[in-house]
Amino acid sequence: MQATPDEPEDTAAPWHASEHAALHSALARLDALVDWERRDRSAGMRVDVEPARDLLARLGDPQRGRPLVHVAGTKGKGSTLVWCEAALRVLGRRTALFTSPHVETVTERLRIDGEPIDGAAFACGLEAALVARDDAIREGTAAEDASWFDLVIAGSAAAAHASGAEVWLVEVGLGGRLDSTNAFDSTVAGVTSIELEHTAVLGDSRPAIAREKAGIARAGRALVVGLEPDDPAGRAIAEVAREVGAEVRWSPPRGADLDGRNRAVARALLGELEAALGSSGAVAALDALAQAPRLPGRLEWWRTPAGTRVLLDGAHVPESLALVLAELERALAPAEPVVAVFSCARDKRRNELLKVLGQGAETVIGTTLPRHGAGGLDEADAPAPATALARALDRAAESGGAVLVTGSLHLIGPARAHLVSIGAAPCSPSSPTSS
């Protein structure tokens, strides 16, 4: 069966004009395929690893022979891998970090040595994957049904191989067991957290979702779990590990600090990677780090020329949003008001998200998602993201408060673009609120 055409790309979130022309050409072909990141995911979503496996095999399995860390979870998986990346780079190891989604430019999805891959190099990988799909169509094999994400993962693997990266760090896209990234064979795997999300695809309970995410476990390999052993979701993960012969290593959350939680899981992952490779130094390098670089939209702080601080975080489940609000509270002065800009996709727990947001924000301004078209408060009347953020900044300036943009990573690109346009700049959480 051929992939059906996807919905057209929203012109409110175009690819950057600075990207290489060859990359535009490859993306134009990709955008004709089904892209579930830009659709409301449902029980009708195709979940199957075989197309990705077929693509990788046709590319010569570029992932083979590389130490690989594979991480799933509701929250924190990308940030956990950035901690791993930073520690490995201190040791001089060449790294390839696969993350999703991107917030502004597709090259964010593959970082080589801590920086987004060059557009021309990424285009070469994507073109190779597209050729592999063409061959599969002619021969009637699994990759004829490859989705947008399948091809991006395969193309990223080809590009990472060409770059000479030594250690691969891979973030699961959705779930785990049937995610395209599960075509990779990991050296060590991890699950950061489990909350209700994508229930039509993954299951309607935390244990059911945990079993899907634990599907990245490998026989005889370590599986680091960022949950308490007696958590029902943790028990479900342990059951899957026993079924496949993986070895569970617990790294339960300690405190409400998100960075601390992610760092602890990263430390456990690096320890298991060292044990598997017979190497040392990565854990010590992590312990010596003051801070890891941020991925866009993960506890990302900005400050406007007027001194207003803005926190960008794509938290999309209530539990994660509560942790983000706790981080925001720690960074702000007592009684400093918060103005929130919010939207989420239709398959998210919107009412619960708004309830949590209402406990920490004085004002909530609903907006639209540029890719999903789902409104945060009133879909018919909600302003575009840039307009909503401009209103929030005006209100925060009047009240001496801060702004939070949250609910989806798909909001972060338009928010960052607007902040740049008004002369705002990234800052640390402790930056003063006035210039």
Q: What is the pLDDT of residues 54-105, one digit of tens each?
A: 999 999 999 999 999 999 999 999 999 999 999 999 999 999 999 999 999 9
Size of the chain, expressed as the number of residues it contains: 435
Mean pLDDT, rounded, for 281-300: 92
Mean pLDDT, rounded, for 291-309: 92
**Domain locations along the chain:** 21-288, 300-426
Classified as helix, coil or strand, 348 is: coil
Quick check: 51 and 142 in contact, CB under 8 A?
yes
Quick check: 398 and 391 in contact, CB under 8 A?
no
Retrieve residue 28's tokens. Answer: 């134009």
- pTM metric for this prediction: 0.88
User: Rounded to whole angstroms, how far apart are CA atoms 132 and 35?
Assistant: 18
Are 21-288 and 300-426 the same fold in CATH? no
Q: What is the architecture, at CATH level 2, of domain 300-426? A: Alpha-Beta Complex (3.90)
The residue behind tokens 């309607």 is 204
Quick check: 25 and 147 in contact, CB under 8 A?
no
Domain 21-288 class, CATH top level: alpha beta
User: Side chain identity at 339, as an amino acid letter?
Assistant: V
Residue-wise pLDDT tens digits, 193-219: 998 877 677 888 999 999 999 999 999
Q: For the chain, give the mean pLDDT.
A: 88
Quick check: 59 and 160 in contact, CB under 8 A?
no
**CB neighbourhood size of 119 (10 A):** 22
**CB neighbourhood size of 21 (10 A):** 10
Query: ω into residue 370 within 30 of 0, thus cis?
Result: no
- The DSSP code for 427 is -
Rounded to 5 degrees, what are φ and ψ at 257? -75, 120
User: Which are the contacts of 3, defined by CB distance < 8 A and separation ≥ 6?
Assistant: 33, 34, 145, 146, 147
Q: What is the CA radius of gyration of the chain?
A: 21
Quick check: 379 and 341 in contact, CB under 8 A?
no
